[in-house]
Amino acid sequence: MIAAPLTPPGRTAYINARLLDPATGLDQPGALLTEGAKIADFGPRLFADGVPSDAKVVDLAGKALAPGLVDMRVLITEPGGEQNETVKSAARAAAAGGVTTVVCLPNTDPVIDDVAGIEFINRKARDVKQVKIYAYGAATRGTEGREITEMGLLANAGAVGFTDGSKAIANAGVMRRVLNYAKVFGRPVIQHPEEPALASGVMNAGERATRLGLGGIPREAEIIMIERDLRLVEMTGGHYHIAHVTTSESVDIIRRAKARGLPITCDTAPHYFALTETDVGDYRTFAKVSPPLRDEMDRRAIVAGLADGTIDVIASDHTPRDQDQKRVPFAQAAFGVIGLETLLPLTLELAHKKAVSLLDALACVTCRPADILALPAGRLAVGAAADLVVIDVDVPWTVDEDAFLSKSKNSPFGNRPVQGRAVRTIVDGRTVWTRQEG
Amino acid sequence: MTGTSAPAPSFPHRHLLGIEGLTAAQITQVLDLADGYVEHSRQPERKSDLLRGRTVVNLFFENSTRTRTSFELAGKRLGADVINMEVQASSVKKGETLIDTALTLNAMHLDALVVRHAESGAVKLLSDKVNCAVLNAGDGHHEHPTQALLDALAIRRRLGRLEGLVVAICGDILHSRVARSNIHLLNAMGAHVRVVAPPTLLPRAIDRLGVEVHHTMKTGLKDADIIMMLRLQTERMSGQFVPSIREYFYFYGLDYDKLKVAKPGALIMHPGPMNRGVEIDSEVADDHKRSMVLDQVELGVAVRMAVLDLLTRPARAASAAL
């Protein structure tokens, strides 16, 4: 695997493709033409009269061509944690995973809670010139949960939403103000739903934690926080997005709230539908995540929530941690797993297992996150940015974390057999990455 | 007992990290062997040369004079060179990780490593990185296997069996590695296990470990053969898990009044050190007919000798074959 040299942004014809556009339900053989940074045309009968002579031709030999993935929850630990991940390494990992748009959390050091923080990410992303990187602004100063940030100025600088990232906005009064104020600028508030007073443990509270002698985090920590916040949404009318939903009750609550017409959306991460608390095994720190992995009943409920659209989005929740933070006793290990390079195959796993249709699964990682954050991405449309991914949908392979381009290797999916992967990633019409076979 | 005695049936575990995963036959094997070491320890000449030339390191990341001394005596009575290392986070302060410590010790060619650590799973993590046998001397809230084995030996020597006995484990189950190891062991041996504690001191889903859950001593101790009292950490007092020492003792402290519902002559155990007037009344603690506390201390050495013997057999057999 290498990062491919940038191709000049002229006209490129992608022929013999299986066009997939979850936003419109398109799933047909066809072709797509990019012109410069934009999609010029696409469709089943495009090039029926021949490919334009000035276009470079890329024959996809039946592979799928879909909008590039939009990952709305990624921790890039630059500044402050460059040993774990930098903007550059995250961008390379994203490209290798078929992700063309990354939205990063504000939990850096220093926290992204002012305009300079947003501008730092913008500048780094421009310098890297690989995938598109957006940032959230912190909802409260220093993510300390007390004073709200300058949301208007942050929004003007490019913040696509507000969140305290991996920390819950715990104080109900503060959350009410955040929801109320963010509404003015049309940005969603993303909550890490975990009542901190209940979440002092290190894995799901249950039989496994009891056997291992580890402090448990009860599922109620999540459920209570979501229920409380929904009342605040009713009070304020702000757009509330719940990050990484993990329990069956949460799915039920969200389903009912959506039916009542509340302005809410939510996401989950692959580890919550692909793993359970039993994957902690004998203290596997790579399975230590926040919120914790739950039980099989919850895992199934998450899949059901994805299938019926209650859960809008799958985000990788990419949280790079170096060995020093993971090769320690479980209770001392940092929370988090990486996910940029496994987001696509694990999402496709849902389709291969026929739990969710292929287009619905891809909608969770393309148009839906783009719509929630009002990003110009995630769909095939004439005139839209040519941010695309070529997917070999059925190819079987085994996850090898050592081959990841992410600086950290803390994946719980090492050695997992999966099916389907990105083979070419295109951003603004330029191929930024291709998989070299063999 | 000498280093040339023929090794008995092998023990299929390289380390002793917990009771969970041991079969009744394996537990019985340890207890039978320990019985022999009890008699051995009562002789005027207590030292054997079974482990002569072998090195045992007691690596304690947490204070524990009793357990450490017990392991030290066990190793020395078997003739091993025993070294005590009390880490007290000093290496950690220098930035050395647990794995670095393990690798350093491994390079010194040990035969057995006895480890106590404040974090659950730390001993397992260490055992993955060393070539010698690792004995868990207590890891966080997870397991303390030799304590459960010595408790079982004490019961077996007094009552002749474990099967069918009603054992009530009382007190701070939530934070107790002793409770977890005892639950696994007693269940494996066919005892009926109850846990008795206020709900604030019980972990979630404890009933799935095969125990009856009681919140009052009156129901929990009814017809019990054995009552195991657990130490309550004083830092758990100030309104966090229980409101006060006074209230805890009133409802959960073991005294003669609460003992009335147990079987006549029910035996009392405590892993020590005891908080008199907190989880146990002094009169009961000092009742030598019923309290097995000193038996537990004595048998602890024998059990640890048995475990050191069993776990070093493969290495001894390998060097004997050279």
Does the distance separating the beta carbons of A324 and B125 come in below 8 Å?
A: no
Does the distance separating the beta carbons of A210 and B142 come in below 8 Å?
A: no
Does the distance separating the beta carbons of A328 and B180 come in below 8 Å?
A: no
Beta strand ranges found along A282-338 (DSSP E): 313-314
Q: What is the largest CA-CA distance in chain A?
A: 69
A65 has which bridge partners?
A: A19, A390
Q: Characterize the bridge pairing of strands A99-104 and A69-74.
A: parallel
The tokens describing A70, both together, are: 């939009």
- The pLDDT confidence band at residue B4, using thresholds 50, 70 and 90, is very low
Question: CA B4, CA A5: separation in Å to the nearest integer?
Answer: 70
Question: CA B212, CA A95: separation in Å to the nearest integer?
Answer: 54
B16 has which bridge partners?
A: B135
User: CA of B227, closest CA in chain A: separation in Å?
Assistant: 22
B304 CB near a chain A CB, below 8 Å? no
Say how many C-beta atoms besides its own lie within 10 A of residue A26's C-beta: 18
Q: Please, are residues A174 and A146 in contact by the beta-carbon 8 Å criterion?
A: yes
Which whole number is the average pLDDT over B280-295? 94
Taking CB atoms and an 8 Å cutoff, what residues of chain A touch B204? Answer: 205-207, 209-210, 216, 218
Taking CB atoms and an 8 Å cutoff, what residues of chain A touch B209? Answer: 207, 210-211
B120 CB near a chain A CB, below 8 Å? yes
User: CA of B119, closest CA in chain A: separation in Å?
Assistant: 6
Taking CB atoms and an 8 Å cutoff, what residues of chain A touch B143? Answer: 213
H/E element holding B268?
strand B267-269
List the pLDDT tens digit at each of the 438 positions of chain A.
444 445 557 999 999 999 999 999 999 999 999 999 999 999 999 998 899 999 999 999 999 999 999 999 999 999 999 999 999 999 999 999 999 999 999 999 999 999 999 999 999 999 998 999 999 999 999 999 999 999 999 999 999 999 999 999 999 999 999 999 999 999 999 999 999 999 999 999 999 999 999 999 999 999 999 999 999 999 999 999 999 999 999 999 999 999 999 999 999 999 999 999 999 999 999 999 999 999 999 999 999 999 999 999 999 999 999 998 999 999 999 999 999 999 999 999 999 999 999 999 999 999 999 999 999 999 999 999 999 999 999 999 999 999 999 999 999 999 999 999 999 999 999 999 999 874
Does the distance separating the beta carbons of A207 and B209 come in below 8 Å?
A: yes
- The pLDDT confidence band at residue B3, using thresholds 50, 70 and 90, is very low
Closest chain B residue to the Cα of A281, Cα to Cα: B121
Closest chain B residue to the Cα of A324, Cα to Cα: B97
B119 CB near a chain A CB, below 8 Å? yes
Say how many C-beta atoms besides its own lie within 10 A of residue A116's C-beta: 10
What value, to the nearest 5°, has the Cα angle with vertex A257 and ends A252 and A261?
145
Say how many C-beta atoms besides its own lie within 10 A of residue B64's C-beta: 18
Taking CB atoms and an 8 Å cutoff, what residues of chain A touch B205? Answer: 205-207, 210
- The pLDDT confidence band at residue B88, using thresholds 50, 70 and 90, is low
pLDDT at B6 over 80: no
Does the distance separating the beta carbons of B177 and A207 come in below 8 Å?
A: no
B205 CB near a chain A CB, below 8 Å? yes
Q: What pLDDT shows up at residue B94?
A: 59
pTM: 0.91
Does the distance separating the beta carbons of A218 and B124 come in below 8 Å?
A: no
B117 CB near a chain A CB, below 8 Å? yes
Nearest-CB residue to A331 (from B99, B140, B208)? B140
H/E element holding A64?
strand A64-67
User: CA of A435, closest CA in chain B: separation in Å?
Assistant: 36
Q: What pLDDT shows up at residue B235?
A: 73
Question: CA B193, CA B269: separation in Å to the nearest integer?
Answer: 14
Q: What is the DSSP letter of A289?
A: -
Does the distance separating the beta carbons of B120 and A213 come in below 8 Å?
A: yes
Which whole number is the average pLDDT over B111-117? 96
Which whole number is the average pLDDT over B174-190? 97
Nearest-CB residue to B121 (from A205, A210, A329)? A329
Q: Is the ipTM of this complex over 0.95?
A: no
Closest chain B residue to the Cα of A213, Cα to Cα: B142
3 state DSSP class of B302: helix
- The pLDDT confidence band at residue B93, using thresholds 50, 70 and 90, is low
Taking CB atoms and an 8 Å cutoff, what residues of chain A touch B98? Answer: 328-329
Does the distance separating the beta carbons of A328 and B125 come in below 8 Å?
A: yes
Residue positions of A annotated with a catalytic role: 317
Q: What pLDDT shows up at residue A3?
A: 44
Question: CA B202, CA B172: separation in Å to the nearest integer?
Answer: 7
A133 has which bridge partners?
A: A102
- The pLDDT confidence band at residue B9, using thresholds 50, 70 and 90, is low
User: CA of B205, closest CA in chain A: separation in Å?
Assistant: 5
User: CA of A332, closest CA in chain B: separation in Å?
Assistant: 8
The tokens describing B4, both together, are: 């040339």
Closest chain A residue to the Cα of B144, Cα to Cα: A213
Q: Chain A residues within 8 A (CB-CB) of chain B?
A: 205-207, 209-216, 218, 282-283, 324, 327-332
